[in-house]
Structure 1
Amino acid sequence: MENGIVKPMLRSLLISYVLSGLLLGALAFALYKLRLKEGQVNLIVYLVYLAACLAGGAAAGKRLRQRRFFWGLLSGLFYFLILFAVSWAMNPWSALDTERSVTVMAVCALGGMLGGMFSA
């Protein structure tokens, strides 16, 4: 990758992870106070992934200005790969839930792609 691409991509990932940390913290508080059901929590976690990748894709698209669709998609996929690698590193012997992993990857890719497309 060209040096002019690395910094915006790293910045978009930083934005995505900071936002997801804040939103997941808010979700933890809501879970504590509201006693949400597992199905509701799973849906909200997917929405957090979507929002975080949307923001990261928008940041990447805004900085790179060309092929925003592609850079947003790549930002979302990088977000997923780091998320997947850290999850696996924390518990390498757990059973791999392929269906959930593919769903999370699709949500992250979609969020990043939409963020890149709608960046101004």
Structure 2
Amino acid sequence: MERRIQKDSKVMWVLKSLLASYIITGIMLLVLTVLLYKMDLNEKAVSAGIVAIYVMATLVGGIIIGKLARVRRFVWGLGLGIGYFALLLLITLGVYHTLNGNGANLITTFILCAGGGMVGGMIS
């Protein structure tokens, strides 16, 4: 019985951290949208903003899951970053029914998400 409660709590850690990451992503994308509207940003600035949002969201999620796990925090953060990327990929496939961009962009986004989560776990 105790093992089941412990497993459920680990699943809840991941879900809470992913939810926090996606809430932060939504808020930061809203801010980026307002900046795009008000300041008429170019494509490079918007792309850089999106990359920064991915890294910051997974960093915060990694910090949260690292504080909850307390052991092997960088592994938990890395797992969170991979989960964030996987969910982001599933959402993209669900909305567009295809992957936009090339393989290099996907690999770069994966590394940024996984790295952001791992760094967040390490500094938690």
Give the structure-1-normalised TM-score: 0.94
How many residues are matched? 119
Moved more, 87-96 or 46-55: 87-96
Mapped to 1, the partners of 2:99 and 2:115 lie a distance apart of 27
Out of 19, 23, 26, which is 2:24 matched to? 19
Mapped to 1, the partners of 2:98 and 2:71 lie a distance apart of 41
Mapped to 1, the partners of 2:108 and 2:36 lie a distance apart of 23
- Percent identical pairs in the alignment equals 37
After TM superposition, give the deviation of residue 5 of structure 1 in Å: 1.1
Mapped to 1, the partners of 2:123 and 2:15 lie a distance apart of 19
| Map of 2:91 onto structure 1 | 86
Is 1:103 matched with 2:108? yes
After TM superposition, give the deviation of residue 2 of structure 1 in Å: 2.5
Unaligned runs of 5+ in 1: none
| Structure 1 segments of 4+ aligned residues over 3 angstroms from their partners | 93-96
Unaligned runs of 5+ in 2: 1-5
Mapped to 1, the partners of 2:80 and 2:60 lie a distance apart of 10
| Map of 2:11 onto structure 1 | 6
After TM superposition, give the deviation of residue 95 of structure 1 in Å: 5.1
Mapped to 2, the partners of 1:43 and 1:96 lie a distance apart of 15
Question: Considering only CA atoms, is the larger Rg found in Structure 1 or Structure 2?
Answer: 2
Amino acid at match of 1:44: G
After TM superposition, give the deviation of residue 33 of structure 1 in Å: 0.5
Is 1:67 matched with 2:62? no
CA separation of 1:96 and 1:40: change in aligned 2, threshold 3 A:
closer
* CA displacement 1:53-79 (0-9 Å, x = unmatched): 000000000001000000000001100
Amino acid at match of 1:74: G
Mapped to 2, the partners of 1:5 and 1:14 lie a distance apart of 14
